[in-house]
Amino acid sequence: MELIKVETNENMEPVVSGRELHSRLEINTPYVKWFDRMKEYGFIENQDFIVTDIFVPNSKGGKQNQVEHILKMDMAKEIAMLQRNEKGKEIRQYFIAIEKEYNSPEKIMQRALIYANSQVKNLQIEVEENKPKVLFADSVQASKKSILVGDLAKLIKQNGVDIGQNRLFDWMRNKGFLIGRKGESYNMPTQKSMDLGVFEIKESIHVNSDGSTRLTKTPKVTGKGQVYFVNKFLSN
């Protein structure tokens, strides 16, 4: 026979409703006043009990908010004993029986399996969430090829962040990865970028129509930089 509903919290500990315990003990004192008196016996919030809210029907057909307390089993047993009457004794004995069953080898194994399954599920979720990042990092680290900033923008977009080449250039300049000062060095990697190893400068010689030559410099994102920037956008 279930005298009081016993549930388990997130730590797999048995807990009961303070309001239901108050009702089953047939206490005449209003719940909030009674519970405040019980707390004087040294029970500690977030250690022996937690405070929460419940919604109950009101006289107008709607719902009203009520303070509720979720009690750990040791506290519930002690409160039952403090009543010093047959009802309190009956409920305390009920809690002892529940606790005995709770600590049986079968129940311990059952909780261990539930916990293990929850850990596996959490790990699977974490792996799935990180999968694009991990796959991307692995593939880039396997390739030493540098790419243009425009190609990096496409790579970031493929990983779920909507950004184009122009906005990425703006972001790079604002964050100090590319030089924003107008002139020959405009859009060239800053010393910060070179120290991080996320950019390199590719130099090319072009032959003009008159036979003269000119040197061009192009900033390119290294394999390390591709991992760095994509993961930076994903983490944000």
HEC string for 162-203:
CCCHHHHHHHHHHCCCECCCCCCCCCCECHHHHHHCCEEEEE
pLDDT of residue 142: 44
What the block records as the tokens of 129 is 């969430």
- Of 71, 65, 82, 63, nearest to 25 (Cα)? 82
pLDDT tier, 14 (very low <50, low <70, confident <90, very high otherwise): very high
Place of tokens 């990425």: 168
pLDDT tier, 155 (very low <50, low <70, confident <90, very high otherwise): confident
CB 68 within 8 A of CB 18: yes
pLDDT tier, 80 (very low <50, low <70, confident <90, very high otherwise): very high
| Widest distance between CA atoms in the chain | 110
Chain segment 84-136, per-residue pLDDT in tens: 889 999 999 999 998 898 888 887 787 778 777 877 787 777 756 555 555 55
pLDDT of residue 235: 76
Q: What is the rounded distance in angstroms from the CA atom of residue 232 to the CA atom of residue 182?
A: 27
User: Residue 183: is its pLDDT beyond 80?
Assistant: yes
pTM beyond 0.95: no
Q: What is the rounded distance in angstroms from the CA atom of residue 224 to the CA atom of residue 233?
A: 15
Chain segment 23-76, per-residue pLDDT in tens: 999 999 999 999 999 999 999 999 999 999 887 777 676 777 889 999 999 999
pLDDT tier, 211 (very low <50, low <70, confident <90, very high otherwise): confident
Q: Name the 3-class secondary structure at 189.
A: strand
Say how far residue 24 (Cα) sits from the centre of its chain. 38
Q: What is the rounded distance in angstroms from the CA atom of residue 50 to the CA atom of residue 69?
A: 6
User: Residue 145: is its pLDDT beyond 50?
Assistant: yes
